[in-house]
Structure 1
Amino acid sequence: MTTTAPPRAELRDFYENPTVPVASGTSRSLRQARQLAAALGPATADGPRTVLDLGCGDGTAAATAAPLLAGHRLVGVDWSQEALTRAHTRLPYAVRGELGGDGLPFAPESVDAVLFSEVIEHLTDPDAALDEIRRVLRPGGHLMLSTPNLAAWYNRALLLAGVQPVFSEVSLRAIHGRPGREVVGHLRLYTARALREFVSAAGFEVVRLTGAPFHGVPRPLRPLDRLACVRAPLASILLLHARRT
């Protein structure tokens, strides 16, 4: 789930731990894949388009998207060797790469699209990450980014009650002050407005910003969570489609 080498041994060990979740929800992966398939169109006689799944984790999300991107070349990229070992069982191409340090192992302007699902919230330097994505994307290339929404409908209520928002974390060792049981290593969170401004400032044109539900919402509240997707600023998950300028 991370393609940037963490600066501290504690973070590195955290992401190499096989018990740490490395896959997004299937529904979210399908939504992104449909949006990307519509943007790319079918493969042409000129050859397949190259699509990177940055922070591919165990390859589940890319494998879910693959049937919708038939004819295109889908390459999984991750920093974690543990995650790549699992990704190789699901993807024909999976390589090690970083969004910081030495950068991605791809030439400038050599990639047609990037899937960037549930990664940016894990990064210590998201600015450098978007710079590197912009470097490898061709002009007009597509960025499909998803990330949890700090201002999700229930987080607004939790903050009013003095409760730590869902998705936010204060420790890599345990959950403190918020609902949930899993520690997943979130370092940064975005609202819809912040995400749009951040991506635009990095040299991308935002095409569309939509919402998606979160699989971790308690079952009785899931109808409300789906309803909130009508307005992206209230949704659990933000799905952003941008193009490199």
Structure 2
Amino acid sequence: MTTTAPHHPGLRDFYENPAVPVASGPSRTLRQARVLATALGPATRHPRTVLDIGCGDGTAAATAAPLLTGHRVIGVDWSQDALTRARTHLPYTVRGELTALPLRTAVADAVLFSEVIEHLVDPDTALAEIRRVLRPGGHLMLSTPNLAAWYNRALLLAGVQPVFSEVSLRAIHGRPGKEVVGHLRLYTPRALREFVTAAGFEVVGLKGAPFHGVPRPLRPLDRLACARPQLASILLLHARKT
């Protein structure tokens, strides 16, 4: 999970808390990086600029970096605490809010947007800003939990709050799990496709990824579910600016 600029004072305090997780799982980061590396091509002739927006502590970018050798990766986050930690992994960082990124128009070839959109009060403005800073044809690699994950379907039928959803920033109520992670919005695959398309992107592909928080006995089933994004724990979306 990465963090970015919340507007409500309570959310700001929550995301500045060092105890709040700020890193995506390495498995899904590598999956995204492989797709992005293929899309960008080798950096020998034309190094590209990649923005990791909501970079958190920089571990996701550091995990992806070997697959993006030669390209310039810049971490962007609102949390000063997260950026302080990110600088141990990234040579370039920028502090900025997604409502108004401190970056020129059409400055980036690609944006990594991992585990961020579910934390936003205003995802519409966020995607508009991402589209603004991307060059024509630029790539968006977005990941977010799947509201319609296979186990969430069963939990809802049983009247249990779905995994990934939150009703409080102070404690967990009515759902499995042990960590409060501040999710404000959740997407099904269909909703995510429609939302990103409406924001001015062409969806190139949508894949599934496993979730590290699934109980160990159920992890083989969770990996099998990745074959169908509609049932997977995590959604990995690749889109291009139109």
TM-score above 0.5: yes
Q: Map 1:44-193 to 2 at 5 A.
A: 44-46=44-46, 48-100=47-99, 103-193=100-190
What's the Cα RMSD here? 0.7
Deviation at 1:160?
0.1
Deviations 1:187-242 (A, max 9, x none): 00000000000000000000000000001100000000000000001000000000
Structure 1 residue identity aligned to 2:168: S
Deviation at 1:69?
0.1
SS at match of 2:230: helix
Deviation at 1:244?
0.1
User: Could you list the runs of 5+ residues in structure 2 that have no partner in the other structure?
Assistant: none
Structure 2 residue identity aligned to 1:93: Y
Task: Please say which of residues 90-99 and 121-130 is displaced more in the overlay.
Answer: 90-99
> % of aligned pairs identical?
83
Deviations 1:114-170 (A, max 9, x none): 000000000000000000000000010000000000000000000000000000000
Deviation at 1:8?
2.0
Q: TM-score, normalised by structure 1?
A: 0.97
Q: In 1, distance between residues paired with 2:169 and 2:179?
A: 10
Aligned to 1:2: 3
Structure 2 residue identity aligned to 1:203: G
User: Could you list the runs of 5+ residues in structure 1 that have no partner in the other structure?
Assistant: none
Tell me, yes or no, if the aligned pair for 1:53 and 1:74 is still in contact at 8 Å. Answer: yes
Aligned to 2:200: 203
Deviation at 1:9?
1.6
Question: Number of paired residues?
Answer: 241
Structure 1 residue identity aligned to 2:22: V
Q: TM-score, normalised by structure 2?
A: 0.98
Tell me, yes or no, if the aligned pair for 1:2 and 1:123 is still in contact at 8 Å. Answer: no
Q: In 1, distance between residues paired with 2:184 and 2:83?
A: 22
Q: Is 1:223 the equivalent of 2:215? A: no
